[in-house]
Each structure stands twice: as C-alpha cells, then as structure tokens.
Chain A
C-alpha cells in the first residue's frame, strides 16, 4: 500500500513561503494514503489560481484546466471512469466567482467527487483583487474604497443546493483537514471541503492569527449532529460561517452514478465501444 511519500513528486511548488496551500497539498497526500489509494487511482483536477497549481504538486494523475472549470472537468473524469478517485480543487475565485454556477450544479448532481477549495478571501495569482469571499469593506487593488458587495457564504449555498457533505477546515489544523479529506474521499457523493488557506502576500487581514481568533471548531462540540440539516444551517449562521469540522453529511442520498440508469460499476472507459452488427441493424429499424 502506498504511503503519503508516494504521493509526492519532485516539483517544487511556486507558492510563497508560508502560503496556506502547502498544508492543503500535504493533507491531500496524507489522506490519499490513509484511505488506501495508489497514486494512479487518484485524479486531481484543478482550476487556475495560485491554488490551481496543486494538481502539479501531487504524484497522481492531474489536470490543470481553465479558470473556474475544475468541477465540470472533474465530473467528466468521474463519469468516464467511476473507479477513479477524483478530487477537484482550486481557489475561492475559481469556485465561487467564475465557477460558482458549476459549484451549485455539481452539488445538485452529486457525483462522487471531493471538492477542496483553498479559500484565502482574495485573488492571489492576479495579485490581490477582491473575491466573493472578501469581507464587506475589504480594501484590495480592485476595491480601493473597500468592497461594497456582500460576502458569499458557500456553506449556506451548498446546504440549500442539496449538498450531501459539507465541511470546512483551516490550513494550520493539518490533523482535522486530513481527516475531513479522508471522510470526503470516503463519502459516496459530492463533498465540499472549504479550507481557510491564508494568502500571506496579499491578504493582510485574514491572517493565520486572525483565523485562530475567529474560528469555532465543531470538534469541541461532541453533541453537534452533522446529519441535521437545519442545525447545520443554524450553526453556519450563528458562527458567521467561521466554523470548522464536518458540518453536514447525508449518507442516504445516492450518488449520480448510482442513480443513473444503465450505469455499471466498472468505468465506461473500460467498456468495448464497437457496436455489434445486430445492435446496429436494430438501431436502424426506427428509421424505416
């Protein structure tokens, strides 16, 4: 069985020292090993942004696509070969601005993939503009007077879109993050894991210390019931979205693959694609 080291490659990330994304990378590598994957069984599909580079830093199949489209690409991979474990990953701009439409619909579709968002409340790669996750009043290069748009709550949106797995974590809490990714990988359906992953270069407000101060860790509430959707929504609102841990999980709802008629357990990629003469002739009869 592969260890987390086998999920490492020799590519040196071009992230700034101290960037939160390093821990996300490490957590994915650990979680993949912990759930017993071999590198070739994993496909990491990422978007564009500093965070989007992550697929190149993990020894697994990886595709670094276009801005905002990690999810539809990842869903295509999963549809083609459901035997693969598929992780989609990217930034808050990637998933909650340009790609928000896909995020909501991927949640509704509920294919068995794990979506890990590196949420730094800013656009890192383009050097510091506002993101839908930025707080109101947040000053950036594109909002010199402070953002006047409300902050998006992806967790609330996920719940209302019918998410079957919603979690949030923090780069500094490698243990919790790794565990949540493992649970996400094992969840039979779409899992959203939003990770507070500080941008040390462009976001001087939402720093590691700031997060430590504001985060409410659900692990400290043994009575919290993540199967209760109403309680989950309340908790998100109560904490202003600053909670970490497993927020909601629905193990009852079947994944898209299991609901789709005619979908077999083995990947389509492995099926024979040539029609037999009989099959073809039969198809022609409706046109006669």
Chain B
C-alpha cells in the first residue's frame, strides 16, 4: 500500500480536462485524502494543451510532486509533453482512437481505452472525460459508489437521464480497463485516508470566503487572471447578504469605488493582478493620505506588462511595497497557505479599519489557483474589529468648526465617522489637510500630519508576521520564502535532513512594514541563508538585505520560467549552495 500518488489529466483546452479533474478530486476529497492540485493552462479558451495534476496523500501535503504515477491523455501531445514526468512503472490511460504510443525511453504501462468510441456509443463524445476518469479511478481500486456520487452531483441539475448516462460512461471505462489490467493495480493501492471530511478549494475561494466572513459587502473589480474567481464567487454570494459586486470599467474605477464605499462605511475590496495593481497606484496614495480603509488583493502572475498571465511568479513585491508616489503607511500581507488566505482577509480588513490604511493581500498564481485541501476553518476565529469607527450619536461641534476627523492622537489614529451622521461633517481631501480635513499648506501642520500617518504602523505585527520552523540552533541553511512555496520547501528539507544538512525555514507573511527584528536572530544563527522566490531579481532577498542586513550570508534561489518550484529543484539547489 502506498501513502501518496500523483495523477494527471491532459488534453486540449475545452475538452473536459477541468471537469474530469473536478469530479476525480471531489471523490477523493470525500474519501478523506489530502489533495494538492496544479493547473497548467494558457490564455486561450479553446485549444492548446492543458493539464491538471493532483497529488493525493494520506497525510497533509502542500506541494506538487516531482514525478507522476498516472497520466490520462486525450491526445498524443499530452503524452509527449508529460510522459517524461512518469516514474518507472507509471501508467498511461489514453484514448485508443489516436493509437497512442509511449515515447522512447519512458518505462510506462499503456492502457489504450476506446474512450471516444464508448462515449459516442452512449450518445455523445462529450462524455469522453467520464469514460477516461472512470477508467483511471478503477485502476486505483477505490470505491465506485463514492465516485458515482460525485458524478451525480456534477450533473444532477441536468436531470436523472444525464446522470445515468454519465455513470454508465464511467462504468464502461472502468470495465474496459479492468479487463485489460486484470483488476485494480496493486502497486497503486492507496492506504485508507482518515475518512474525515476536509475542505477542498482554491486560494481565491478561500480569500473570497474570508472576505465575506470579514464583513465585506461590496466588491468593485475588473476581470483579470488569476484573480477573477474572487469576484465570480462573491457575486454569487454577496446579494444574499445585502451586498453586491460591481464589474467596473477598469481598475482605477475599481479601486476608487472601493475607496468611496469604505469612506461611506462599508467594508469593500477589489482584487487584481500586476497590470491592475499598476493602474491602482495613485488611488492607493489617496487611501493612505485620506486615511480611508482599503483592501486590495494582488494575485501575482508573470510580469512585466502582460508577461505570462497564466503562470506563476512573485515579482510584484517591489511594486506592492514601493508603489504610489509620496510616502504613506501601507500594509502588505502575503499568505503562505490556503488557510491563511482565509484568515488573512479577516485580519486584513480589521487592520485596514483599525489603522485606517490601505492593506494589500498578495498571493501568487499557484496559491490562488491551485486546488488543495484546506484544514477546517473555524467560525470562532472570525473576529471583526472596526477600530475607531464612530457609530453612536455625536455632540454638536462648536460654531464654524468641523468634526476632527484627523485629530492628533497618541497612536496617530483618529476617530472616523461616516457620511450621514449628524454633527460628524468634516472634509476629506488628498491635499495635505488640518485636523478637520481642510486643505493646509502650513509647514508645522504638514510635518505633524506626515508623522501622524507614518507612525501609525510602528508597532504593527500581524498574526505570525513570520512563520518560523527552526528546529536547529545553528542550521547549515536557513531558507526564507513567501507565498505558495512553503510546502515545496518542506519536502526539500526532509530530503536535505536525510542527507545530514540541517535547515530552518521562515515564511515571511508581513511583507510591509518589514518585521526585521523577527528575522534577524534567525539570520544571525544560520550558517547560510537561501532566499527562494519566483522572480528574476531577488526582490525578497533585497528586502531582507535592506532591512536586516546579513548580505554576506544571503544566497538567491530564483525561478522565473513561469513554473512553480519542484521539491527536487530546491533540494538540489540547496545542496549546491550549502
């Protein structure tokens, strides 16, 4: 019995790769397995090779695997492009229609299943994916009932006849392959999972859910890969909670609408990727200057310009931190797990109102779109804190005086009142202003106001500002990273440890203001520091050098070809850099 397995399905975009993956993984999730998915796709909607890979495990996993056990292929291209990943003894399930062949040098078993003809016999070639998934599921020897239940849910709304047909397609695929193989494959028999039901979602869904739980009721956004799922999920839910999503004409409208709505008292967010973030820069300054809360999600993808819009990268770090002209207080948070995607939205909204600052939650494409198991999300951890928002009645202001919206206070945060409240009238402007919000060019006021704003975040440390795993007092290597790479690093560390190389690991979650003091002792204690990131210039490493120092110890481990790190790549690079 094995404890983990990797499965991949490949074909032309629009051929049912997505839905096959969805049904397959839903069924696995029901059985209680831990799952981690990776989508390879391009910007084209129809046509072009696409594949989805799922790692299945009886224990928590948060990384794609180096190799592959089962490849389901709708065309020869899918075999040619992916067979090299198959480990010796791996399996290819392919459509007999194109007379599949295994490339030379690959040792894999081929099951040519008449996928298209079975589907056509049953009425439509559209059911190809069901035949294929039925066949590959059967090879694993897992419960057919659970699989059929997932099929039923996928097609339930199309009526019982369609469900029946699809289940028949699954059965026929399974029957054919089992006859060829002589029963389920012993070497792929997965140990039972713990049977506990888990959540299974993409990071964008976790963030959207977190957004709703945080009390956000409006979202204004402009579609972009890989952020769109957030608005698409919220538009289904927000109207049920009295809110809505507005698809704006561009990201400038999206962010300024969010500022307007936050000013008027509703938690509002927008989400985008690099190109949209670039358009939002001036408005982020408005939020900082007027101390109006604002939450933005940046799902990083390959830049610059249109770059690699459907590929992994972590290259917005400089823009996130330094973007917007002038100097404002701003918080940048980088969740490093799917659970954090959820909780960080709640904390992000809280911080945004408590400190009256723009907060950017930055993921990367793999974290946003990789479908994976998510630990239970706890209702009791949802805490909403709106900071110094004035909700009650206000006493009348003095003759000719306005409400002191920008009152100088000890912590620099002033009471905030929303339009509609009697005696709360004040002015808000992006021009430098006095305590009542009126424009002021006084040098004394300017300095005081700048200090007020910029000192607000002095003591801010978010929950787990850095996530440290430091079992070694003086490790050979300290690996520092952010975003989706944490799980992959973990697997590399296990291998390094087996070879006698000791490692500690830090995921930086609070990207700005930078939690230098939390990092420093760990850098000091390590013999060498490897900063691992998906960009070409070492933006995180530079941030650490700038804030913490330790230049002589820091080595870059960079990957910017659009694909996420594999455990073996980190393992090998760490060995070399050690």
Tell me if chain B binds chain A.
Answer: yes
A264 to chain B, nearest CB (A): 5
- CA of A221 to CA of B246, assembled, Å: 40
B546 within 8 A of A: no
Residues 174 to 232 of chain A near chain B (Cβ within 8 Å):
none
- Chain B positions 255-278 with a Cβ under 8 Å from a chain A Cβ: 256-268
- The answer on a CB contact under 8 Å between B201 and A287 is yes
Interface residues of B in 266-313 (CB under 8 A from A): 266-268, 282-283, 285-286, 290
Within the complex, what minimum Cβ distance (angstroms) separates B376 from chain A?
A: 9
B425–A105 CB distance below 8 A: no
Determine if A146 is an interface residue (Cβ-Cβ < 8 Å).
no
Residues of A within 8 A of B253 (CB): 69, 71-72, 101-102, 105
Cβ of B313 to closest chain A Cβ, rounded Å: 27
Q: Are A72 and B205 in contact (CB under 8 A)?
A: no
Complex Cα spacing A267 to B253, Å: 21
B contact patch SS: mixed
Give the contacts of B225-263 with A (CB-CB under 8 A): 237-244, 246, 248-250, 252-254, 256-263
The closest CB in chain B to the CB of A81 belongs to B264
A75 and B286 form a contact (CB under 8 A) = no
Asked if B379 and A280 sit within 8 Å, CB to CB, the answer is yes
Interface residue from A73, A105, A261 paired with B260 (Cβ < 8 Å): A73
B550 within 8 A of A: no
Cβ of A16 under 8 Å from chain B? no
Is the CB–CB distance between A43 and B427 below 8 Å?
no
Most buried by A among B260, B377, B418, B438: B260
Nearest CB of A to B165, in Å:
25
User: Is B428 a contact of A64 with CB atoms below 8 Å?
Assistant: yes
Residues of B within 8 A of A264 (CB): 242
Give the contact-size bracket for chain B. 35 or more
Quick check: is B182 within 8 A (CB to CB) of the other chain? no
**Residues of chain B within 8 A of A10, CB atoms compared:** 400
From residue B18, how far is it (CB to closest CB) to chain A in Å? 17
Q: Report if B130 contacts A (CB, 8 A).
A: no
B44 at interface, CB cutoff 8 A: no
| B200 located at the interface, meaning its Cβ lies under 8 Å from any Cβ of chain A in the complex | yes
Q: Across the interface, name the chain B residue whose C-beta is closest to A60.
A: B425
> Given B218, B402, B428, which contacts A63 in the complex, CB threshold below 8 Å?
B428
Name the interface residues of A73-129: CB closer than 8 Å to any CB of B: 73-81, 83-84, 101-102, 104-105, 109
Given contacts A72-B248, A277-B379, contact A81 B260 (CB under 8 A): no
Q: How far is the CB of B495 from chain A (nearest CB, A)?
A: 32
User: Measured between alpha carbons, how far is A284 from B197 in the docked complex, in Å?
Assistant: 11
Bound: A280/B342 CA distance, A: 13
Q: A272: nearest residue on chain B (CB-CB)?
A: B215
Residues of B within 8 A of A252 (CB): none
Which residues on the A side are within 8 Å of B268 (C-beta)?
Answer: 76, 80
Inside 8 A of B424's CB, which chain A residues have their CB? 40, 61
User: Smallest CB–CB gap between A103 and chain B, Å?
Assistant: 10
Interface residues of A in 46-83 (CB under 8 A from B): 55-56, 59-66, 69, 71-81, 83
Given A275-B213, A287-B201, is A281 in contact with B240 using a C-beta cutoff of 8 Å?
no
Q: Which residue of B lies closest to A82 (CB)?
A: B264
Cβ–Cβ contact B421 & A275, under 8 A: no
Partner of B218, one of A11, A74, A79, A284: A79
**CB <8 Å contact, B429 and A273:** no
Beyond A11-B438, A287-B205, whether A79 also contacts B244 by CB under 8 A is yes
Q: Which residues in chain A, 233-260, are within 8 Å of chain B measured between CB atoms?
A: 260
- With an 8 A cutoff between CB atoms, is B384 at the interface? yes
Chain A residue numbers with a CB within 8 Å of B198 are 288
Given A72-B257, A264-B242, A271-B217, are A41 and B420 also a contact pair (CB < 8 Å)? yes
A283 at the interface (CB under 8 A from B): yes
Contact of B29 with A by CB under 8 A: yes
Does A80 contact B213, Cβ atoms closer than 8 Å? no
Q: Does A155 contact B (CB under 8 A)?
A: no
Closest A residue, CB atoms, query B254: A72
User: A77 and B438: CB pair below 8 A?
Assistant: no
Contact of B199 among A73, A81, A269, A288 (CB under 8 A): A288
Contact in complex: A283, B237 (CB < 8 Å): yes
The interface bits of chain A over 7-50 (1 if a CB of B lies within 8 angstroms of the residue's CB, else 0) are: 00111000000000000000000000000001111010100000
Knowing A59-B425, A284-B199 are in contact, say whether A76-B239 is a contact too (CB < 8 A): no
Find the B residue at minimum CB distance from A41: B420
Contact, CB under 8 Å: A273 / B261: no
Residues in chain A near residue B205, CB distance under 8 A: 287
Distance to closest chain B CB from A50 (angstroms) = 13
Say yes or no: A65-B286 contact (C-beta < 8 A), given A40-B420, A271-B217, A288-B199.
yes
Q: How far is the CB of B244 from chain A (nearest CB, A)?
A: 5
The reply to whether B260 and A80 contact each other, CB–CB distance below 8 Å, is yes
Q: A81 and B252: CB pair below 8 A?
A: no
Task: Report the Cα distance A65→B431, complex, angstroms.
Answer: 8
Considering the complex, give the chain B residue whose CB is closest to the CB of A257: B244
8 Å CB contact of A284 from B283, B285, B377: B377
Q: With the chains together, A148 CA to B265 CA distance in Å? A: 46
B243 close to A262 (CB less than 8 A): yes
Report yes or no: B244 in contact with A283, Cβ–Cβ below 8 A.
no
Contact yes or no, B197 A274, CB < 8 A? no
Taking the complex as formed, is B220 at the interface, i.e. its CB lies under 8 A from any CB of chain A?
yes
The residue that B239 contacts in the complex, of A39, A66, A262, with Cβ under 8 A, is: A262
Q: Are B384 and A274 in contact (CB under 8 A)?
A: yes
Given A72-B248, A76-B264, A287-B374: A84 in contact with B429 (beta carbons within 8 A)? no
Given contacts A72-B260, A81-B420, A283-B209, 7 further A-B contacts (CB under 8 A): A40-B420, A76-B263, A83-B420, A84-B420, A105-B248, A271-B242, A274-B215
In order of increasing CB-CB distance, the 9 nearest A-B pairs are: A76-B260, A262-B239, A273-B215, A269-B265, A80-B264, A61-B419, A73-B260, A76-B261, A76-B257
Residues of A that sit less than 8 Å from B by CB: 9-11, 38-41, 43, 45, 55-56, 59-66, 69, 71-81, 83-84, 101-102, 104-105, 109, 260-264, 267-269, 271, 273-275, 277, 279-281, 283-284, 287-288
Some 25 contacts from A to B, beta carbons below 8 A apart, are A38-B422, A39-B425, A43-B419, A61-B424, A63-B263, A63-B290, A64-B427, A65-B429, A66-B285, A73-B259, A75-B260, A79-B257, A80-B264, A80-B265, A81-B265, A105-B249, A262-B241, A262-B242, A267-B265, A273-B267, A275-B213, A275-B241, A277-B379, A279-B241, A288-B199
